Amino acid sequence: MLWASESDVAANTEGMHRYKIIKKIGEGTFSDVVKTQSLKDGKFYACKTMKQTINSLEQANNLREVQAMKRLSPHANIIQLHELIFNKETGTVSLICELMEMNIYEYIQGRQTPLPEHTVKQYMYQLCKSLEHMHSCGIFHRDVKPENILIKQNILKLGDFGSCRSVYSKPPHTEYISTRWYRAPECLLTDGYYSLKMDIWSTGCVFFEIMSLNPLFPGTNELDQVAKIHDVLGTPEHSVLQKFKQSRAMHFNFPPKKGSGISRLIPNCPAPALSLLYQMLAYDPDERITAETALRHTYFREIRLAEKKADTLHRVSGIVDGVGSGETHSSLQHIWRQTRLGKQLRGRHTRQTPLMSHNMKHVAEPVIRRNVAHYSSELPKLNMVVPGPQISFPVSTVPAFTVTHRGTLPAITSKKCQSRLAKPRDESHRTAFKTYYMPPLERKHGGF
């Protein structure tokens, strides 16, 4: 399954002569990784050279790993692909990527004391963000493990997309996937009937390992791997095991076990962390939490609040910095649009009532009072039409007529009109009076 490129990445056939190899930093089944330095700008990069040979540059660009990295880029928690190099003579492909300090396995290896709780929380939040982005882009990793999670100071990035797959590809998936210790039950008990939820199981295993500094399920083979899982989580219900009956290689006569539970393995684990851990390690993939939902878990509440506060401060500072510059008008327009949109989203009517128009008038007044510099454009004017009451006068005094006006003028009483008119002396005067037209009242200096 190939994905269309979502970003442009430099690709050439000039070889590695523009980079200086510093040292080897990793080796895997399918590739070698070295630290390199660009002779052009002096920056350091990680160069991953594939062991498989390729026939053309087009074929190199169509590699699943290359396509995935292009689609996922840019993201704060995904390794960035800087350049693709194809060597025509040797047929090798090299991926020039951003250089990180170390992977999670190297970070926790040999530690005697656990990592600070806030560090674990930050790393897990970023890992969940990387998976949420991947899954929303239609890709799942299939090999989440400490060695493929890279860190640099407080930043975590997911790397090595050589085993990734499209979420839309139909099972069975028969290719080699995931390191055994981080393999989900559906990967162990079926012949390729698994989905993106396997990434969440692997993330739960990594979560436990970061907290305890020890692997959760270190099985020596697939049967032992299943036994290790049952030792901790217990043997699942028969109805759950029935979902894995697509397997041809394994019998399902597992001895019933209650399971020791995760809390006994990490007794000092905070309750919110334990809650998230159990949801990630749900035996049934249908019951397993998603990356998107994991980001909203109580365990990450403080990080979410801090992100929201930082985002608010960033927006406010951007508006303040724009005052007095060419950006001011656009900032004010943005505020106006957000206010109007917010009211519509809350279900309010767009027509202004007298009370709302009164409030809007007072909101706009401080801008004038504070002597802010005049801008070339003003906020949109509010067109308000308020139907006034219909007023009738007695026939004995003034002929009945109807006044419809705009605004909120005081009602005119018949007594006031009588005091200004002479009493008619005969019928001829009364007839003339009936044809009299009363001139409209005019505002004078804001009054009536």
Cβ burial, residue 138 (10 Å; 0-12/13-18/19+): middle
60 and 176 fall within a common domain: no
Residue 388 belongs to some domain of the structure = no
pLDDT digits (tens, 9 = 90+) for 345-382: 444 443 333 333 344 433 434 444 444 444 444 444 44
Q: How far apart are CA 184 and CA 190, in angstroms?
A: 10
40 and 178 fall within a common domain: no
Cβ burial, residue 191 (10 Å; 0-12/13-18/19+): middle
- Non-local (6+) Cβ contacts of 55 within 8 A are 91
Which secondary-structure segment (H or E) carries 149? strand 149-152
Q: How far is CA 398 from CA 85, 405, 423, 442, in A?
A: 97, 19, 11, 21
31 and 68 fall within a common domain: yes
Which secondary-structure segment (H or E) carries 231? helix 222-233
29 and 142 fall within a common domain: no
Q: What average pLDDT does range 56-69 have in this prediction? A: 94
Residue 278 belongs to some domain of the structure = yes
pLDDT digits (tens, 9 = 90+) for 218-233: 999 999 999 999 999 9
pLDDT digits (tens, 9 = 90+) for 281-312: 999 999 999 999 999 999 999 999 999 999 89
Query: What percentage of residues in the chain have a pLDDT greater than 90?
Result: 54
Out of 8, 32, 143, 284, the active site residue is: 143
291 and 136 in contact (C-beta within 8 Å)? no
307: tokens are 């992100």
84 and 215 fall within a common domain: no
Query: Among residues 265, 282, 300, which one ends one of the domains?
Result: 300
Residue 356: predicted pLDDT? 39
23 and 124 fall within a common domain: no
Residue 206 belongs to some domain of the structure = yes
Residue 271 belongs to some domain of the structure = yes
Query: What percentage of residues in the chain have a pLDDT greater than 70?
Result: 65
196 and 291 fall within a common domain: yes
Q: Is residue 160 among the annotated active site residues?
A: no
Nearest to 264 by CA among 254, 284, 283, 278: 278
**DSSP code per residue over 362-392:** HHHHHHHHTTPPP-SS-PPPP----PPPP--
Beta strand 44-50 with 92-98 is antiparallel
Q: How far apart are CA 182 and CA 145, in angstroms?
A: 7
217 and 255 fall within a common domain: yes
Nearest to 86 by CA among 105, 59, 110, 120: 59
Residue 425 belongs to some domain of the structure = no
Residue 33 belongs to some domain of the structure = yes
The better pLDDT of the pair 100, 433 is held by: 100
Q: How far apart are CA 95 and CA 370, in angstroms?
A: 58
Instruction: Name the CA radius of gyration of the chain, rounded.
Output: 36
> pTM score, two decimals?
0.69
190 and 58 fall within a common domain: no
**Cα atoms found within 13 Å of the Cα of residue 445, Cβ hemisphere only:** 0
Q: Which residue type is seen at 418?
A: Q
CATH number for the domain spanning 30: value is 3.30.200.20
CATH number for the domain spanning 205: value is 1.10.510.10
Q: How far apart are CA 389 and CA 49, in angstroms?
A: 83
pLDDT digits (tens, 9 = 90+) for 152-171: 989 999 999 999 999 999 88
- Non-local (6+) Cβ contacts of 278 within 8 A are 262
Residue 360 belongs to some domain of the structure = no
Strand partners for 26 = 33
357 and 384 in contact (C-beta within 8 Å)? yes
The response to whether 48 counts as a known ligand-binding position is yes
54 and 199 fall within a common domain: no
Query: Among residues 83, 98, 113, which one ends one of the domains?
Result: 98
228 and 204 fall within a common domain: yes
384 and 392 in contact (C-beta within 8 Å)? no
DSSP annotation of 78 reads B
Q: What average pLDDT does range 84-95 have in this prediction? A: 93
Nearest to 73 by CA among 118, 28, 137, 123: 137
Which secondary-structure segment (H or E) carries 22? strand 19-27
Q: How far apart are CA 332 and CA 185, in angstroms?
A: 55
Q: How many domains does the chain have?
A: 2
115 and 25 fall within a common domain: no
Residue 163 belongs to some domain of the structure = yes
Question: Which domain range does residue 93 map to?
Answer: 11-98
Query: Among residues 73, 98, 123, which one ends one of the domains?
Result: 98
